[in-house]
Structure 1
């Protein structure tokens, strides 16, 4: 310790608060420049900046990485979208809406045979009320199977439809490949109240009815004009068969037939021919006829047996029934039977009648020779005899 004054600046060197005002300069102690560095510490050196090429390389690499990530994301999104299970359904429905039925059938794997006369571009072009638009409503996609639900626009109405798909493999080992399974088609069902093997015309295509007078034809959604070709014998008013969506059974269209003038004349001729055949029989009990004679004596021998038609029955031909066009006897005819006999009592002439002649039955069809008549009763069955 010394008595010399301490030159070190302490708190007493800090100016008082009352001396610090905005119009006065700061004391020198507060504005002094930096002192020399303390021993052992070197003055700081300035940092070296990155070279221009390095900066460009880093920026380019980062940009490339970003582009790669973005491109990868876009590629994945596009690939996933293009391999979605609804894609085959979209393509199938677009072909149907565009009238490209052959392409639609091939895409869906729908097999055809000779009876599928409506599964052609030409037939479908004749249809009305076809699908005009569609909207996918949901996709239920599993590992190997998928179900796609859609709403079809048909004749101004929304019609639901369901499509099934199966996974058949992958593209690039990542994206699934889906195959549309053949959807169930609707059908045009026609019943002709006429003979078996009647010709039916649907949307310009021809088909033939079966044993029950019916025919069913697979068809895509739409409405189809239906008619029956009876030639000169009978006719039927045209009708329309509607096929709504996929897999929906159609409501049978019934074509009621009526005989033409030529058909009526042929039917009457067939009935008359049957009556004449019965009258021409040289027996008391003509086979397959509606009249007969009985009461003969088994001890006698009968010869020159003969039927004579006194009046011809009056008949009318009505609508088709389950067995044919119904023939009704409006007024019965009459016939008389005569025969010569010999026996224990001698010789003589036997007579029977007049006997009613009925001609009820059915006209079952037409051929080159005219109409075919089948009688409703034969001898011995609820008919008159004498």
Structure 2
């Protein structure tokens, strides 16, 4: 019986040793996978892709610098992470002091990028499983400027731009695109990739230009002004009307024969200057037709002359209203 008991005890001991070994292997596997330092990175990336800024911020344990928070949640955050593809997490690299670095390689718009996350061992769960947390740091800040505008869009979200500039706290990695697409002013989109939190990303600078709609509106008002001015000059029968154009002669012009018309309307060019939008000097041509009497000979001749003219104008825009105020020098 003693031999049988020994065999039974040996079997139990062997089974126990195998169970312990299996447990150790399982613990190591869990610590290397779902309890490994890569898992917080996976959870963080998932929160970014879902636009869950609160969860992402809690996982990253990051402080938010004094800045605009418009990019830290919802659509703006989802858009920043949506361009991330082909993600590969590397093995953790020991950095000392219970800290490790987890590298992440990925692609944004066809460009291969790399972000390094620093994590620290922050305890254990169920006695055996490691618990990892991001080492606290501050979020990076993205600066955006726009010429002569108090608004823009960033990752599809309208944002205020007081005095043409603003700064936005952003998560990383991600891509941020600024643009302006208004009725009268627009700027081509420009992008910046934020790969890490240890450096300030390049600024996004929007070079605003007047749209064809604004140029068309101003051109229409310039034409309206000149046509009205020419019509009033005909009505008053003036050679030197309150207009950008005039005609000078030493002869007597026969009343009722003066006829002004615009032959070349100015081409409108609108540029930013001194925090305003200004219309470049407006150059055109006007024709006068009339009959005149020579004061010495009494001969009657025809006037058919084309005169160059130039004038400036003040441009004021209030919402959808475009106001043009010609500036004439007499």
Regarding TM over 0.5, the answer is yes
Q: Which residue is 2:22 aligned to?
A: 71
- Deviation, structure 1 residue 155: 3.0
When Rg is computed on C-alpha atoms for both structures, the one with the higher figure is 1
CA distance in 2, matches of 1:362, 1:176: 69
Q: Which residue is 1:152 aligned to?
A: 106
Greater percentage in helix:
2
- Deviation, structure 1 residue 241: 1.8
Does 1:58 find its partner at 2:12? Answer: no
Three-state SS of the structure 1 residue aligned to 2:275 is coil
CA distance in 2, matches of 1:54, 1:167: 46
Pairing partner for 2:278 from 322, 326, 335:
326
RMSD value, Cα:
4.4
C-alpha spacing 1:362/1:151, structure 2 compared with 1 (3 Å): farther
Q: Which residue is 2:71 aligned to?
A: 118
- Deviation, structure 1 residue 94: 4.0
Pairing partner for 2:196 from 219, 224, 246:
246
CA distance in 2, matches of 1:322, 1:129: 38
- Deviation, structure 1 residue 159: 0.9
For these two proteins, the number of residue pairs brought into alignment is 262
C-alpha spacing 1:240/1:95, structure 2 compared with 1 (3 Å): same
Three-state SS of the structure 2 residue aligned to 1:168 is strand
Three-state SS of the structure 2 residue aligned to 1:140 is strand
The alignment's TM-score, normalised by the length of structure 2, stands at 0.59
Does 1:228 find its partner at 2:180? Answer: yes
Pairing partner for 2:58 from 93, 97, 106:
106
CA distance in 1, matches of 2:90, 2:138: 18
Which string of whole-angstrom CA distances, capped at 9 and with x for unpartnered residues, describes residues 273-321 of structure 1?
xxxxxxxxxxxxxxxxxxxxxxxxxxxxxxxxxxx99544999652113
Which string of whole-angstrom CA distances, capped at 9 and with x for unpartnered residues, describes residues 240-291 of structure 1?
423242336145242322051476379979xxxxxxxxxxxxxxxxxxxxxx
C-alpha spacing 1:99/1:229, structure 2 compared with 1 (3 Å): same
Q: Which residue is 1:209 aligned to?
A: 161
Is residue 139–residue 148 contact of structure 1 (8 Å, CA) maintained in 2?
Answer: yes
Is residue 92–residue 107 contact of structure 1 (8 Å, CA) maintained in 2?
Answer: yes
Three-state SS of the structure 2 residue aligned to 1:74 is helix
Which string of whole-angstrom CA distances, capped at 9 and with x for unpartnered residues, describes residues 160-210 of structure 1?
112122443344566553221356656665432223x2x212333110112
Is residue 44–residue 56 contact of structure 2 (8 Å, CA) maintained in 1?
Answer: yes
Q: Which residue is 1:169 aligned to?
A: 123
Is residue 151–residue 160 contact of structure 1 (8 Å, CA) maintained in 2?
Answer: yes
Which string of whole-angstrom CA distances, capped at 9 and with x for unpartnered residues, describes residues 27-74 of structure 1?
xxxxxxxxxxxxxxxxxxxxxxx6453243233233234224413422
CA distance in 1, matches of 2:323, 2:138: 41
Three-state SS of the structure 2 residue aligned to 1:122 is helix
Three-state SS of the structure 1 residue aligned to 2:36 is coil
Three-state SS of the structure 1 residue aligned to 2:162 is coil
The alignment's TM-score, normalised by the length of structure 1, stands at 0.52
Is residue 319–residue 325 contact of structure 1 (8 Å, CA) maintained in 2?
Answer: yes
CA distance in 2, matches of 1:162, 1:322: 44
Which string of whole-angstrom CA distances, capped at 9 and with x for unpartnered residues, describes residues 130-182 of structure 1?
24412225422433433333222333432111212244334456655322135
Is residue 30–residue 129 contact of structure 2 (8 Å, CA) maintained in 1?
Answer: yes
C-alpha spacing 1:106/1:209, structure 2 compared with 1 (3 Å): same
- Which segments of 5 or more consecutive residues in structure 1 lack a partner in the other structure? 1-49, 270-307, 332-357, 376-383
Q: Which residue is 2:232 aligned to?
A: none
Q: Which residue is 2:231 aligned to?
A: none
